[in-house]
A and B are shown apart, each in its own frame.
Chain A
Amino acid sequence: MIWLTWRQFRGAAAMMGAILLVLAAVLAITGPGLAAEYSAGVASCTGEGGDCARFFDRFFEDNQASFLLVTVVGLVLPALTGLFWGAPLITRELEAGTHLLVWNQSITRARWLAVKLAVIGLAAVAAAGLGSLVVTWWSGPLDSSAAPGFALMDPLVFGARGIVPMGYAAFAFMLGVTVGMLLRRTLTAMAVTLAVFAALQILVPLLARPHLQAPVTSAFQLSQENIDVFGLPRDGSSPRVALENAIPGHTGAWVLSSELVDPSGRPMSSDDAGTIVPISATSGPCAPPSVAAPGEGGMGACLAEVNRLGYRQQAIYHPFTRFWTFQAIETGAYALLTLGLTGFCFWWIRRRLS
C-alpha cells in the first residue's frame, strides 16, 4: 500500500520538492548578504552611541518588498498542500471510479486511508516545516529590525514563522481530504478548502489568538519609541501626537490597542492626524520658538511637559516573550483539529462513502 501511495504521490512530491529547493536556493544565496549587512549596521550604530533605530528603519525599508514576499510564501505554502494534496486525494479516485478498483483489493479501506493520510500528511508537515525553517532563518535580521506592524508577533508574520506552519499544513491537508470526501468533486472541494482555510487564517488572529493568554494592559510615558508623529504647530496652537503601535521597552510586542489618555485616565478623541493635546502653546515649554524664552521650548521640552502633566499611552499588548508559547498553543490547537478531522474521515469512509 505504501508503494501504491508513493507511486501515485511521487509527482506531487517532486513538484513540492522542486518548489522548496528553489525557495531554499534563493534564500540561501541572499540570506548571508542580508545577515552581513545587518551585523555591520548594528556594529556601526552601537559604536556611534547605541541608537540603532535609524539603521533599523532604513534596513527594514530597503528590504521590505522581499520580506513581504518571503512571508507570503511562508503563509501560502501550507495552504497549497491542503489544496493540491488534500482535496484531490479522495475525489480523484471517486471521479475516475478507481476507488472501486482499489477498495476491492485484499486490504480494507480504513487501512488504505490510513497509509495515504500518514504518508502524505507527514510529507505535508515536513514540507511546511522545511519551508518555515528557511523562511525563519532568512528573515532573522529583518524580524529583529521590523517596523511596528511587521514584528514576529504581528498576525501577518506570526503564521509564517516557527512551528505553526506545520500545524497549518497538517490541518489544511486534512481539511482538503474531508471536504473532498463530503463534496466528491475535486474543483469544488479545492475552492471550499481554500475559502475555509483562508477564513480561518483571518478569523483566528482577529478573534482567537488575542485571547490565548490574558493580554497586558499598561500605561506608558510618551517617548520616541511610541510616538509616530509629534507636531508642534508654529502658529501657537496645541501640539498633536500620533502614536506608534509600539510599546517602550517591549520591542516586538503585539499591540492590540494603543491610545492616548488624559491625566485622569480617560481616552482622548483622535482623528487621522493624531490627538490634540490641550495644553497651552502660547507660553511655556510648548510655545513656538519665537515666543519661548531662550533655552526653553522645542520638541524635547514640550514632550517632557506633556508627560509631566500626566498624558500617557494606554496600551493592551502581548509581550514578545510569549511568541513561542503562542506558537505552541496554536500549533497544538490545529493539531487537535487535524486529529478530529482524521477521526471523522475514518468514520465517514466506513459508514457513508461508497
Chain B
Amino acid sequence: MTAVLQAHELGRRYGRRWALRDCTIEIPAGHVVGLVGPNGAGKTTLLKMAAGQLAPTSGSITVLGGLPAAGPAQLAKVGFVAQDTPVYAGLSVADHLRLGARLNPGWDAALARDRIAALGLDPAHKAGRLSGGQRAQLALTLGLAKRPEVLILDEPVASLDPLARREFLQGLMEAVVEHELSVLLSSHLVADLERTCDYLVVLVDSRVRVAGEADRLLSTHHRLTGPRRDPDRLPADQEIVSARHTERQSTFIVRTESPIHDPAWTVSRLSLEDLVLAYMEMPAEPRRAVLEVQR
C-alpha cells in the first residue's frame, strides 16, 4: 500500500523564516493521523503543501504517490478542509452542494444531502449566517462528498465550542469508518486527537520531533522516577525525551524498545498528552549535553 504522505527533506520558507524544514516523514495509509504541535510549528504549512495549496521551497512531497494538486485526478483524491473552514458567505448551503457537484466528478450527492439533512441545516440558508460549528460541518460535508482517498483537515475544531467540537469529530469518525478513508488532522490540542487518532506526528519549531502509531508510541515511552541521577548514566538504548531534576530526585521520560530493568526506577506509563508535551518541551537538538546546561 502506498504511503498516504511521503516527504523528503521538505522545507518551506516565507521570506527569511523557515516555516518547515528538513521534514522527512512517511505516513502509511489507513490511519487517522494527528498532527500536533504548538502554534506556528508548521502544521498548516505541511498540510497546505500536502493539499497542493503551497509549493515547497526545498525537498519533495507526494500524497498517495502523486504530486499534490498536479492535476484534476490528484485533486479528486485529496480532500482539504482549511483552517477556519472557509465557505462562500454569499452562497447558500444548497449552492455549496451544487458547487461540489459541478466541480467534482466523483461527487456523492446522496451523501452530501443526507449529511446536511442529518445536521439539520436548511439548504436555503446563506453560509455566511451559519454558526462556526455549522460552517465547519458544511466544509466537512464538501470534503467528504467529493469522496477523496485522504481527507486533510487543518485545525478544523480550533474555533468550535466543546459540544460542536465533539459533534464534528464524531461525524468525522463515522465517515472514516464508513468510507475507509485516511485522515490527516492537525490540532494544537492533544485532547482532540486522543479520541480520534491512531497515528501521531509531533511537529515543533518547524521540525518533526516524533511520528508513529499511537499505541506503539505509548508502549515505547516511559516515565522513570527515582533518585537523582546524571542523564549520562542512563543506558545507551534509552533515548531521553525530557529530564527534570529536584534536589534528590530525577524524572526522565525516555524512549526505548527494550524493557527497563533498573530497580532504582519507578516506571509509569504516559498518557498521549504527557508524551506530546514532553516532545514539545524538548529543545531543538535533543542531545544529552544540552540537558546538562538546562539544569
B284 contacts the other chain (CB 8 A): no
Which segment, of B69-77, B185-193, B217-225, faces chain A?
B69-77
A97: nearest residue on chain B (CB-CB)?
B86
CB-based contact A4/B72 at 8 Å: no
Contact residues in B for A96 (Cβ distance below 8 Å): 86, 88-89
Least CB distance, A124 to chain B, in whole angstroms: 21
> Known contacts A106-B76, A108-B75: does B102 contact A4 (CB below 8 Å)?
yes
From 85 to 141 in chain B, residues with beta carbon under 8 angstroms from any chain A beta carbon are 86-91, 95, 98-100, 102-106, 139
CB-based contact B80/A104 at 8 Å: yes
Bound: A354/B72 CA distance, A: 17
CB-based contact B103/A105 at 8 Å: yes
Which segment, of B27-35, B49-57, B228-236, B246-254, faces chain A?
B49-57
Least CB distance, B184 to chain A, in whole angstroms: 13
CB-based contact A101/B142 at 8 Å: yes
CB-based contact B99/A4 at 8 Å: yes
User: A-B contact count, CB below 8 Å?
Assistant: 77
CB-based contact B72/A108 at 8 Å: yes
Bound: A101/B103 CA distance, A: 11
Least CB distance, A102 to chain B, in whole angstroms: 8
Bound: A354/B56 CA distance, A: 11
B146 contacts the other chain (CB 8 A): yes
Least CB distance, A89 to chain B, in whole angstroms: 14
CB-based contact B106/A101 at 8 Å: no
CB-based contact B75/A107 at 8 Å: yes
CB-based contact A100/B82 at 8 Å: yes
CB-based contact A98/B88 at 8 Å: yes
Bound: A156/B53 CA distance, A: 46
B21 contacts the other chain (CB 8 A): no
> Known contacts A1-B102, A351-B55: does B86 contact A104 (CB below 8 Å)?
no
From 241 to 265 in chain B, residues with beta carbon under 8 angstroms from any chain A beta carbon are none
B142: nearest residue on chain A (CB-CB)?
A101
CB-based contact A101/B75 at 8 Å: no
A211 contacts the other chain (CB 8 A): no
Bound: A96/B146 CA distance, A: 22
CB-based contact A107/B103 at 8 Å: yes
Bound: A108/B52 CA distance, A: 10
Least CB distance, B152 to chain A, in whole angstroms: 9
Contact residues in B for A1 (Cβ distance below 8 Å): 102-103
- Which of the listed residues A1, A8, A96, A106 has the most CB atoms from chain B within 10 Å of its own CB? A106
Least CB distance, B286 to chain A, in whole angstroms: 32
From 70 to 112 in chain A, residues with beta carbon under 8 angstroms from any chain B beta carbon are 96-98, 100-109
CB-based contact B104/A105 at 8 Å: yes
CB-based contact A101/B139 at 8 Å: yes
CB-based contact A354/B139 at 8 Å: no
B84 contacts the other chain (CB 8 A): yes
Bound: A2/B103 CA distance, A: 10
Can you give 17 contacting A-B residue pairs, CB < 8 Å? Answer: A4-B99, A8-B88, A97-B82, A97-B83, A97-B86, A100-B82, A102-B99, A103-B53, A104-B53, A104-B80, A105-B75, A105-B104, A106-B103, A108-B75, A109-B69, A351-B55, A354-B53
Q: Which 5 A-B pairs have the closest CB atoms?
A: A97-B86, A100-B82, A105-B103, A106-B76, A104-B80
